[in-house]
């Protein structure tokens, strides 16, 4: 009997911890994502750049670019502190490009967009720097949820089994 109640308490605790860990992780991930709307990327190949400081090795770097102007032809990529490009893509009218990769080196990274068209391009740019500890905490919170549900399910299964056994025992005594 006390073990059954303990299972219910553990299950509820796991679900509460799961919700808290998952919520806090999601909040901090949203704080590590920046959106720049209606950016003008000049024509003629001059680079538009945004610097992101303090990237740690192992962080997930991501970008998502949506073109909102008439006829862009824009190349986008991340530039590492060692001047190596990552996530190199070309975006055209009305399309969206995005990529995610793990930063191989720490330091200040730069997001670069180069417009190869004859007219100014407009874009909505979302940049993210998500540490691997946040990703692990999201996974941890997500794993705790089914564990808590399983403990609560076991509680009700054992309770039902005990009630069935109790009724069978009472029938035998009659």
Do 84 and 37 lie in one domain? The reply is yes
**Mean pLDDT value of segment 57-72:** 79
Tokens for 82, please give them. 């060692």
Total domains present in the chain: 2
Partners of 113 in the β-ladder: 48, 76
pLDDT-derived band at 40, boundaries 50, 70, 90: confident
Mean pLDDT of the chain: 85
For residue 70, the 8-state DSSP code is S
Do 69 and 7 lie in one domain? The reply is no
**Mean pLDDT value of segment 44-52:** 83
Do 15 and 73 lie in one domain? The reply is no
pLDDT-derived band at 1, boundaries 50, 70, 90: low
The residue ranking higher by pLDDT, 80 or 34, is 80
pLDDT computed for residue 73 by the predictor: 82
Q: Note the pTM of the prediction, 2 decimals.
A: 0.67
Instruction: Judge contact between 32 and 128, C-beta under 8 A.
Output: yes
Do 64 and 123 lie in one domain? The reply is yes
Residue 135 parent element (H or E): helix 132-173
Do 144 and 125 lie in one domain? The reply is no
Residue range of the domain that includes 152? 2-25+135-173
The residue ranking higher by pLDDT, 29 or 84, is 84
**Mean pLDDT value of segment 20-31:** 86
Domain containing 71 — which CATH number?
2.60.120.380
**Mean pLDDT value of segment 129-154:** 88
Residue 3 parent element (H or E): helix 2-31
User: For 96-138, how does the pLDDT look when each residue is reduced to its tens digit (9 = 90+)?
Assistant: 888 888 889 999 999 898 888 887 777 788 888 787 788 888 8
The residue ranking higher by pLDDT, 72 or 111, is 111
Partners of 91 in the β-ladder: 74
């Amino acid at each position: 009997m006390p073990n059954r109640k303990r299972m219910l308490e553990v299950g509820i605790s796991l679900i509460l911890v799961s919700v808290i860990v998952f919520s806090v992780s999601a909040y901090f991930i949203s704080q590590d994502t920046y959106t720049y709307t209606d950016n003008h990327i000049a024509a003629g190949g001059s680079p538009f750049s945004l610097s992101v400081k303090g990237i740690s090795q192992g962080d997930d770097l991501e970008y998502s670019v949506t073109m909102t102007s008439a006829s862009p032809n824009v190349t986008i990529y991340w530039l590492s502190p060692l001047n190596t490009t990552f996530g190199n893509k070309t975006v055209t009218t009305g399309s969206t490009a995005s990529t995610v990769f793990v930063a191989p080196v720490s330091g200040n990274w730069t997001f670069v967009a180069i417009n190869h068209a004859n007219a100014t391009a407009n874009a909505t740019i979302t940049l993210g720097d998500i540490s691997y500890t946040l990703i692990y905490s999201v996974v941890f919170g997500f794993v705790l949820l089914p564990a808590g549900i399983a403990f609560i399910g076991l509680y009700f299964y054992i309770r039902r089994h005990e009630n069935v056994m109790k009724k069978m025992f009472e029938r035998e005594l009659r």
